[in-house]
Structure 1
Amino acid sequence: MTMSVPQIVARIPHRAGMLLIDRVLELVPDQHVRAVKAVSFAEPWYQRLRTPLTDDDLAYPPALLLESWNQAAAVLATAERPNTDVRRGLVMMLGSATGIRFARPVRPGELLEHRVSLVRRIGDTMIFAGDTTVGGETAMTVDSVVLAQRPAARLVDTAPAGQGER
């Protein structure tokens, strides 16, 4: 199965400005996903840069590279059950990320390909692993990411202001 942006936003709550995947190339529920993201100099994180620019200035922020990969994992996690309204539905939460290695910088004009495999599912908690490549060259590897889905209603503090748990 492939997906374009309208189909992606029908599955996960991320929207313009924070949606960091552009297309799903392949999705096999409960197995794996391949998704791409085109890095562009027009993205907001590049707007504060001053000239003259160096190649190091243009390196895509590593935290956003991992977030983009995590969004591909979220598409895989929600393949059977879309999750677009986190206020009433399920909230996707990052439990942990281990073995994250950045192998090369990514710069505007490059196309990221995220490959994410589901390693294990325990109820609404999933463990993923995979990598990101640029032109066939490894940019990042991920040994383990744990994502958990929890009902929004269980995460909302219903105590009157000032009377929450301490």
Structure 2
Amino acid sequence: MSAVPQMSISGIKQVLPHRYPMLLVDRVDELVPGERLTARKAVTANEPWYQDLPADATDEQHHYPSALLIESWCQAAGVLAAWKNPNPDVLAGQVMLFGSISEVVFRRPVLPGDVLEHRVRLFRELSDTVIFEGEALVDGETVLEVGRVVMAMRPASELVGAAGDAGGSPCAT
């Protein structure tokens, strides 16, 4: 298939339900439907997870949280999974759910000023479930390897109210 033109933040917001402070993909550089995606996320010292650090915080204290590194990569995978049928509303239509992750290796810390390049490859697609693999790089150096991520697309109507009477909402990726 042919590549989709570069996608800006406005296009990403039409595909993913995430918003500030948890929208962790800034741009899609390449998207080849059913195959692969390359996306970017610029890490800055102005992000909320750094706000409580003291003025004399060390570089080690500024390491980008590993959970957010994974989240950012998974959001890039979510763009590849949902680009054909975008649904930024988690209360209607198909909802993207994170299933599992395996074979994750963190190669080096990520710091403010780094620009993450997420490379996502579609490993397998089974009906409404997709399996991805890939890596994240900074300046051409691998900082994260992802062996497998499983995501499923499910109807929101089957998930709303699943949290019981607590009034919970479905949990998107």
Q: Residue 101 of structure 1 corresponds to which residue in structure 2?
A: 105
* 1:16-95 equivalent positions in 2, closer than 5 A: 16-95=20-99
Q: CA deviation at 1:51?
A: 2.9
Paired position in structure 1 for 2:169: none
* Structure 2 unmatched runs, 5+: 167-173
For 1:152, which of 152, 156, 160 is the aligned residue? 156
Number of aligned residue pairs: give it: 162
Partner of 1:140: 144
In structure 2, relative to structure 1, the CA distance for the partners of 1:60 and 1:159 (3 Å cut) is: closer
Query: Equivalents in 2 of 1:156, 1:137: separation in Å?
Result: 42
The residue type paired with residue 132 of structure 1 is A
Q: Give the match for residue 6 of structure 2.
A: 2
Secondary structure, aligned partner of 2:69: helix
* Structure with more helix by fraction: 2
- After superposition, the Cα gap between the structure-2 partners of 1:88 and 1:109, relative to the gap in structure 1 and judged at 3 Å, is same
Displacement of 1:16 in angstroms is 2.0
Q: CA deviation at 1:160?
A: 8.1
Which of these residues, 124, 128, 149, is aligned with residue 124 of structure 1?
A: 128
1:104 offset after TM fit, Å?
Answer: 0.3
Name the SS of the counterpart of 2:161 in structure 1.
coil
The code of the aligned residue for 2:156 comes to A
Structure 1 residue runs of 5 or longer lacking an equivalent are none
Identity of aligned residues (%): 51
- Describe the shift of the 1:124–1:54 C-alpha distance in structure 2 as closer, same or farther (beyond 3 A): same
TM-score in terms of structure 2 length: 0.90
Q: What SS does structure 2 have at the residue aligned with 1:10?
A: helix
Greater CA deviation, 137-146 or 76-85? 76-85
Cα distance, 1:121 vs structure 2: 0.5
Helix, strand or coil for the counterpart of 2:62? coil
Structure number with bigger Rg = 1
Deviation at 1:91, TM superposition (A): 1.4
